[in-house]
Chains A and B, each alone.
Chain A
Amino acid sequence: MNFSLIFLFIFTMGSLSLAHSRLKASDSIKIRSMNPGVKTGPCGGLARVAQPAVLKAGDTVTVTWEETIYHPGRYEFYFSQSGDSNFTLLKTVPNGVNNTPVPHQFSTTLALPNVACDDCTLQMIQVMTENPNNPSNYYSCADMQLKAIGTTPPTPAPSHTDPNCP
């Protein structure tokens, strides 16, 4: 093995920047658009879907998405109870270096808040950090309804989950 090549590979990996990304549709994820390059938040001004997914409050859902152009950074998943506002962070998934052919397929599970809502939104933000001091985003949204389970009173979703945010 040529050690010079290995050395060169290691040092170029850090600067490779080959994000476009989008949620993939499923029974529990009704996406607003297939457009992988929505640049304006929270959901690109796209209309809600006519038939949102109906789930139970507190359900765990599997979310799949694909990245059609690789960017260093991470994916953040948020939940809004109403009106595409007051989003709360559910999960962050880092995006490591990936030089395999696109599109790249991803999957994770999310625990939905134990709240009942008719126009709730699941939002995915791809945070691109080619320049860590000036990150840029892509947005993808899915619509859902959460129904209360039995007589258990729903608990409000946390209004704020980022301890570093003023």
Chain B
Amino acid sequence: MRRWIIYAILFGVSVIAFNNCSGGFEVLESVGRVSAQCLQKLRTSQKLNGSFDPVICENPENYQCDIRRFRKGVGHQTQQDQQCADIAGIGETCVAVTTFNFDTSQQEIFAEPADLVEGGSYNRDEISCMNTQITDHKIAVVQAEGSRLVDTLESTILNCRARSRQ
């Protein structure tokens, strides 16, 4: 009986933590209602839903990057840390990074040779950076994707500056 009470308490705490830390279920539902083509339109549209202060682009705390690491032997863990990159014209910039590891050992069985060389589908990093302050439908609309953190972060910052001038 005592064990079930502990499970119930842990479940309740987890639900509360989820709702407080992730914005709750509304975030996922909202994302589910915006199609990929629509999101692409929002990200490339000349007009954002309201203008924003260019200062938002200059604060490193407003940026977050995701790294999807597709490599053999990296495991399947997710890590969060802060990583720094030397951005041209800005200097050292440190941002929050979430790394999603995808161990591609299994993929070697059926992969084409080209998929396994450095940069191939199963042996590369995919980076996506965003400005967390500029959203539409709760999705980041100022972002960039690339294969290196420094380039992707720089593209995101430049994208932000360009959008702030529109």
Contact = CB atoms under 8 A, between A and B. Distances in A.
B35 A136 contact: no
B164 interface: no
Given A162-B38, A165-B35, A39 B126 contact: yes
A59 B32 CA distance: 27
Interface in A92-145: 92, 101-103, 125, 127-137
Residues of B in contact with A, size category: 35 or more
A15 to B, nearest CB: 6
B139 interface: yes
B64 interface: yes
Interface stretch (B39-47, B53-61, B81-89): B39-47
Interface in B40-81: 40-42, 45, 49, 64, 66, 68, 70, 76, 78
Task: Identify whether the interface residues of B are mostly helix, strand, loop, or mixed.
Answer: mixed
Nearest to A139: B36
Contacts of A92: 35
A101 B106 contact: yes
B76 A18 contact: yes
Residues of A in contact with B, size category: 35 or more
Interface in B107-166: 107, 110-112, 115, 120-122, 124, 126, 128, 130, 132, 135, 137-140, 143, 145
Given A134-B139, A162-B35, A39 B145 contact: yes
B139 A135 contact: yes
Contact of A35 (B34, B98, B121): B121
Contacts of B33: 164
B68 A130 contact: yes
B7 A89 contact: no
A134 B130 contact: yes
A81 B2 CA distance: 63
Contacts of B103: 18
Contacts of B64: 134
Contact of A68 (B35, B76, B107): B107
Interface of B: 3, 7, 10, 14, 22, 27-28, 31-42, 45, 49, 64, 66, 68, 70, 76, 78, 98, 100, 102-104, 106-107, 110-112, 115, 120-122, 124, 126, 128, 130, 132, 135, 137-140, 143, 145
For the complex of A and B, the 8 pairs showing the least CB-CB separation, nearest first, are A37-B121, A165-B38, A125-B36, A132-B31, A134-B130, A162-B35, A162-B38, A164-B33
